[in-house]
Structure 1
Amino acid sequence: MQMLNLGILAHVDAGKTSLTERLLHSVGVIDEIGRVDDGTTRTDTLALERRRGITIKSAVVSFPLDDVTVNLIDTPGHPDFIAEVERVLGVLDGAVLVVSAVEGVQAQTRVLMRTLRRLSIPTLLFVNKIDRRGAREADVLRAISARLTPAIVPMGTTGGLGTPEARFTPGLSPAALDVLADLDDDLLAAYVEGAVTDSRLRAALTVRTRRAQAHPVYFGSAVTGAGVDALLAGVRDLLPPAGGDPGGPVSATVFKVERGEAGEKVAYARMFSGTLRTRDRVPFGPHGSDGAGGRAQGRVTGISVFDRGADSRVDAVPAGRIARLWGLADIRIGDVIGEPRTAYERFFAPPTLETVVVPGPEVDRGALHLALTQLAEQDPLIGLRHDEARRETSVSLYGEVQKEVIQATLAEEYGLDVTFRETTPLCVERPVGSGAAVEYNNKEPNPFLATVGLRVDPAPSGSGVAFRLEVELGSMPYAFFKAVEDTVRETLEQGLHGWRVTDCVVTMTHCGYSPRQSHAHQGFDKSMSSTGADFRGLTPLVLVEALRRAGTLVHQPMHGFRVEAPADTLGALLPMLAGLGAVPRTTRTRGELCVLEGTVPAARVHALEQRLPGPTRGEGELESAFRHYAPVTHGTVPERARTDHNPLNRKEYLLNVTRRVGG
């Protein structure tokens, strides 16, 4: 039987989870359709999801579709949980993007479609809610063509729009020939010769859909079931089945990690190659890591696969399937099991906000630390930052809704009452110029048995951090070079102003060490011989001095925004934007609407969302996404409290690290 791993994606409230319920009911997996409002859906299993009526965690459910077994993955629609969507994209064979027939193309719909097209994931579009008052067909098709992709093929016509009797009648649109002929030279030639048959047209549609070049569009209603059978036929006939050789080397990608009833880790993995069996011992780790470093080993103690709305234990899972795996205690989201591959990548921008978690008066800090660590395991983009001196923990975020969800999760699942400080932007530092520093072994004021010289140079935006050598690799033990590189990367997490330093090249210019020494007839004398600790202790002092000489500039995260509002509200809209630090770059009118595009500090996006309804009479629409980091050139430079031993203060640092202040 063929497999198909299918993602359901949408802007929040477009009806994605309701469509999942309808699909499961249509194929006979469930007898009664759950309702999001009642908290009875199959895929929204968290109590918080059911209470709030939104999807927070991706969920997998399986159903048979003739000779195809479909693993359907329901994903969150709210932009604060885009990390969940990101992890799913790397394991999909195809997708259904849900659009509301009433609201039309919304902000998150555009973000998702751009990503699906960039990754060449075959995608069908389902225009939901045709039974709702205000449902439109022609307007929505025009919006899809203009704002998502022009390569759309309507797969039928609607009737009775906006009524409970709304229906969808399948039938290939005459526009299909125009769209497909632009993509297929052979079809264009057949058209010129008058030799295009319906079967040839449908064959071309299948080929171009599977290549993610054309996108069939279906209309329907998850509530009444209209159009759902046609959509299922499209899923079966137009999307490509999962590939992979079950007899090949094992290679799988982990896209979700959760905790089982006993607190054990359970990994959700898509098998791309080979067959994984219980009791197999397998390597796993980040994609691209080599076999020598960065990869752990573990034994698989249990496997389950998804089948007809449930999951069942099996002894083996072949290529093409999605499985839940037990036994890999150190597994993380994004890890590759078996042969390394590059399927898991970051498709969306990282979080740009941060807040401090404030425990309630009765909360045990150790229990809170453990709970936050477990949440970070399930969502790696919840970056944790511990400040031992202040006994504080910060978390990185996408938005305010995510903060509310973390608070509720800690209360409901862990019994921990917490609040948060005000959300602040997560800035970065970039070197302004070049700077170098060196300290020599056995030379004051260096108390460490090591020579380290480093130079910091700026690098292009987005390039991250690179470490290079200008010394011979054989001039000292490799472990010492490794200690320097690891410490450089760790130290750069906190620059001169406390922010992560990025877009730079750090070059090791000097090195030296004291070889192993011992007194006659005695063992190794640590006080006379260099160890990795010497290099780990000295490197931060040298690096921050090089950074001082190079200079750094703090950059704040900026979002690109697009506001669509009634044209007659422009006069009230512009002052509001200016008050939030938003800078419109383009302003244009389109009929009775005005469209403004520009940039706004990430820290002000939530305020913009809250204030937009006022000047626009509730008709303004906002779309925003991280665009770039911009230097802070006016006002007070944002500072971030340090959580390390503060190498910026040499005396304080040496007292903390060596209990000495000099050689």
Structure 2
Amino acid sequence: MSILNLGIVAHVDAGKTSLTERLLFDAGVIDRLGSVDAGSTQTDTLELERRRGITIKTAVATFGIGALTVNLIDTPGHPDFIAEVERALRVLDGAVLVISAVEGVQAQTRVLLRTLDRLRVPTLLFVNKTDRTGADPDRAIAPITGAVPMWRDRGEALAEHDDKALAAYLAGEPAPDGVLGRLTAQARIRPAYRGSAITGAGIAELTAGIAAHLPRAAGDPGGPLRGTVFKIDRDHAAYVRMFSGTVRVRDRINDEKVTAIDDGRRGHVRAGEIGRLHGVRGLRIGDTIGARHETTAAVFAPPTMETTVEPVRREQRHELHAALTRLGEQDPLINLRLDAESRQLSVSLYGEVQKEVIESTLAEEYGIAVAFGETVTIHRERPAGTGRAGAVIGRDGNPHQATLELLVEPGEGLEVALAVPVEHIPMYVYKTVAGFQDAVTRYVRDAFTRGGPHGWDVGDARVTVTRCGYVSPNSTAGDFKRLVPELIARALREAGTVVCEPMNRFAIEGPADALAATLGALPRFAAIPDPPAVEGRRFTVGGLVPAARTTALERALPGLTHGEGVLEATFDGYRPVPAPAAPR
């Protein structure tokens, strides 16, 4: 059986969910077409999605194209829910990028194009809404490198990317069979189709292109177990894409038993397949099943905003914490934070729409009315130097049955290393050295999210376990789990930390006569521009701008550029700033 795990991605309102609905309808999976406006689509199952007419959570549906089974993953288009898109991109064999034939390439379209390029995801383009007034498919794909319009002769386009296709083109012959699919699978070109998800025009051609040109899922069902969790349901079921091996009902994952797969409809999920696992409630988004393997670094910016949240009825504080914990399991980037001193709850955000969604979800699903505080920019702390802290069983008031010493120093991302003999590790608890290292990494990550000396999450640190000890059989995983945050806090105080703010790299394009006004305004937004370039009647200028000021710059741009300016911004990292205290 051939399998294709296919993602549908787009800028919000380009018609992504409508296309998903049309593909399912034409394949006979649903017996009538739903409507985004009417809130009756198959994949927007949340009441909030139906009411707002936007996709909030990634949805998975399956349909067939002949002998090909397609697992269709519909992702959100709104930038506030970009984390959902990131998780989906990690498990795809191919993608369809939907573009409006009227609006053309929009801001989120550019972000997605760059990401698909970086991850080398084979992609087809579907220029949607050709039935609308002002539709122009040729204009819509003109800015996209490698776009090959399938409604025109494509010999010249293929010749630019393949020697055999070039020879055929020069000889006046059609391109050799298989060239289009091979170049698409290599992510060197993007076949473009046009039509309307609403009327069904062009869908048959797109469907044929999906089957003909996108690569099938690979992997050995009998190989070592390797999979990735990319979605957690409200009932704690885990969606996993298997890359190798087979997971069966009653198999154990992290000491938990798989009790059912796909609500009991299947007995296993094999390499290349997507399955919904029940019973493994400890799994989290991004977790690896089976053998550890390299993971792709984050492809989108982390959330850069944070707000406090309080229940309107104070007696619901405990319920609120539990509800937000559940929501955090479904979306780890919500990043629930509880201040140790004030007991104030905070959540991280991509934008105000996400805040409204959290508020509605808490009210409708959990019966908790909440009030949010002011939205502030999330800063991050990095170790400024080196700090060391340790504790020995039975000494200096250590209440834990664990001996541990941690060295914390500056690094990139989070790295946890072991510098202790194997015989000092409680193997009867963690089974393997890798299991111990993975567990300590989780403990350290949790400790860093509790905040450094200034109250912000800690990142870009290397932590080395320089001493370890235990007393068998008394020492447990809980002893090490409770000891790590205490040692991390002490080591960070010794090392000191630098507070950093998130920065975006921006690119502005506009009319040449607006360059002076644009450059003159950039300092108001604390932006640091690179030298600008002028070509013909257009200018481009790039640079860095604090993430907190990016939205204000975007709002000011139309007035600076006669309404013709376009801004793109991507997360670039963190820059040290004077240390603001975290909100309490």
TM-score in terms of structure 1 length: 0.76
Rounded to whole Å, the distance in 2 between the matches of 1:590 and 1:133 is 31
Report the CA distance between 1:119 and its aligned residue.
Answer: 1.9
Q: What residue is the counterpart of 2:119 in the other structure?
A: 119
Q: Structure 2 residue aligned with 1:411, among 363, 367, 385?
A: 363
Asked if 1 retains the 8 angstrom alpha-carbon contact of 2:408 and 2:492, the reply is no
1:215 is aligned to: 190
What are the superposed Cα offsets for residues 20-73 of structure 1, whole Å, 9 maximum, x if unpaired? 122223333334322222212221121211222211111112222122122211
Q: Which SS does the other structure have where 1:370 is aligned?
A: helix
**Structure 2 Cα separation of the partners of residues 241 and 347 of structure 1:** 23
Q: Which residue number corresponds to residue 315 of structure 1?
A: 267
Return the offset for 1:447.
Answer: 5.0
Contact 1:152 1:179 in 2 (8 A): no
Q: Which residue of 1 aligns with 2:487?
A: 539
Give the aligned partner of residue 56 of structure 1. Answer: 56
When residues 53 and 491 of structure 1 are mapped into structure 2, their CA distance, relative to the original with a 3 A threshold, is closer
Task: State the distance in 2 between where 1:513 and 1:70 align.
Answer: 51
> What is the SS of the residue equivalent to 1:229?
helix
Superposed CA deviations along residues 460-511 of structure 1, whole A, max 9, x for unmatched, are xx34344454x777689899x98998876655543232223333445567x6
* Post-superposition CA distance 1:63-87 (Å, at most 9, x none): 2212212221111112221111111
Q: For the Cα contact (< 8 Å) 1:275–1:319, is it kept in 2?
A: yes
1:490-544: CA deviation from partner (whole Å, max 9, x where unpaired)? 55543232223333445567x699999xxxxxxx9x9xxxx86996697357514
2:366 pairs with 1:396: no
Tell me, in whole angstroms, the C-alpha distance in 2 between the residues paired with 1:579 and 1:387: 33
Q: Which has the larger radius of gyration?
A: 1
- Name the residue aligned to 1:660: none
1:33 equivalent in structure 2:
33
Q: Distance in 2 between matches of 1:105 and 1:487?
A: 43
Task: Output the CA distance in 2 between the equivalents of 1:534 and 1:81.
Answer: 33
State the match for 2:541 in structure 1. Answer: 596
Distance across 1 between alignment mates of 2:159 and 2:537: 31
- 1:251, 1:340 within 8 Å by CA — same for their partners in 2? yes
- What is the deviation of 1:575? 5.0
Which residue identity is paired with 2:362?
A: L
- For 1:316 and 1:513, the matched residues in 2 are separated by 40
Alignment-derived partner of residue 241 in structure 1: 216
**C-alpha separation between the residues in 2 aligned to 1:582 and 1:272?**
43
Q: Which amino acid is the alignment partner of residue 96 of structure 1?
A: V
Structure 1 residue 419, shift from structure 2 partner: 2.4
Indicate the residue corresponding to 1:377 in structure 2: 329
| Worse overlay, 613-622 or 46-55 | 613-622
State the secondary structure of the residue aligned to 2:333. coil
Q: Which moved more, 1:359-368 or 1:67-76?
A: 359-368
Structure 1 pair 26–592 and aligned structure 2 pair: CA distance change class (3 A)? farther
Aligned to 1:651: none
Matches within 5 A, 1:550-561: 552-561=497-506
* Counterpart Cα distance in 2 of 1:537 and 1:220: 56
**Paired residues of 1:303 and 1:316 also in contact (CA < 8 A):** no
1:549-578 residue CA offsets vs partner (Å, 9 max, x unmatched): xxx321110011223344444455445543
State the partner residue of 1:638. Answer: 580
Give 1:125's aligned amino acid: L
Residue in 1 that maps onto 2:230 = 255
Identity within the alignment, % = 50
Where does residue 433 of structure 2 map in the other structure? Answer: none
Q: Which amino acid aligns with 2:190?
A: H
- Which residue is 1:365 aligned to? 317
CA contact (8 A) 1:434 1:458 kept: yes
Q: Does the C-alpha gap of structure 1 residues 363 and 607 become closer, same or farther in structure 2, counting only changes over 3 Å?
A: farther
Residue of structure 1 in register with 2:432 after alignment: none
Q: 1:542 to 1:54 in 2, by over 3 A?
A: closer
TM-score by length of 2: 0.86
Does residue 326 of the first structure (1) align with residue 278 of the second (2)?
A: yes
What amino acid is the match of 2:32?
E
Equivalent pairs, count: 570
Q: Would you say 1:498 and 2:498 are equivalent positions?
A: no
Letter in structure 1 aligned against 2:36: V
User: Which one-letter code corresponds to 2:240 in the other structure?
Assistant: A
Alignment of 1:556-575 (within 5 A): 556-570=501-515, 572-574=517-519
Equivalence map 1:83-94=2 (5 Å): 83-94=83-94
Distance 1:142 1:533 in 2: 55
Q: Could you tell me how far apart the structure 1 residues matched to 2:373 and 2:491 are?
A: 32
State the one-letter code of the partner of 1:420: F
2:160 match: 179
> Separation in 1 of the partners of 2:85 and 2:382?
30
| Structure-1 separation of matches of 2:166 and 2:494 | 63
Say whether 1:585 aligns with 2:530.
Answer: yes
Relative distance call for 1:91 and 1:463 in structure 2 (3 A) is: closer
Relative distance call for 1:472 and 1:229 in structure 2 (3 A) is closer
Are residues 1:155 and 2:150 paired? Answer: yes
Instruction: Write the distance in 1 (CA, Å) between the matches of 2:331 and 2:49.
Output: 16
CA distance in structure 1 between the aligned counterparts of 2:391 and 2:27, rounded to whole angstroms: 71
Q: Does the 8 Å CA contact 1:488/1:543 hold for their aligned counterparts?
A: no
2:313 maps to a residue whose letter is P
Structure 1 vs Structure 2 CA RMSD: 3.6
Instruction: Specify whether residues 593 and 86 from structure 1 end up closer, same or farther in structure 2 by C-alpha distance, changes over 3 A only.
Output: same
Of the structure 1 ranges 349-358 and 367-376, higher mean CA displacement relative to structure 2 is found in 349-358
- Does structure 2 conserve the Cα–Cα contact (< 8 Å) formed by 1:122 and 1:239? yes
Structure 2: runs of 5 or more not aligned: 430-435
SS of alignment partner, residue 605 of structure 1: helix
Verify the 8 A CA contact 2:501 2:576 in the aligned structure 1: yes
Say if 1:466 and 1:505, in contact at 8 Å, map to a contact too: yes
| Distance of 1:484 and 1:331 partners within structure 2 | 16
Give 1:411 shift: 1.6
Aligned-partner residue type, residue 174 of structure 1: G
Asked whether the equivalents of residues 448 and 538 of structure 1 are also in contact (C-alpha less than 8 Å), the reply is no
Q: Would the alpha carbon gap of residues 363 and 18 (structure 1) be closer, same or farther in structure 2, given more than 3 Å must change?
A: farther
**Alignment check: 8 A CA contact 2:426 2:470 kept:** no
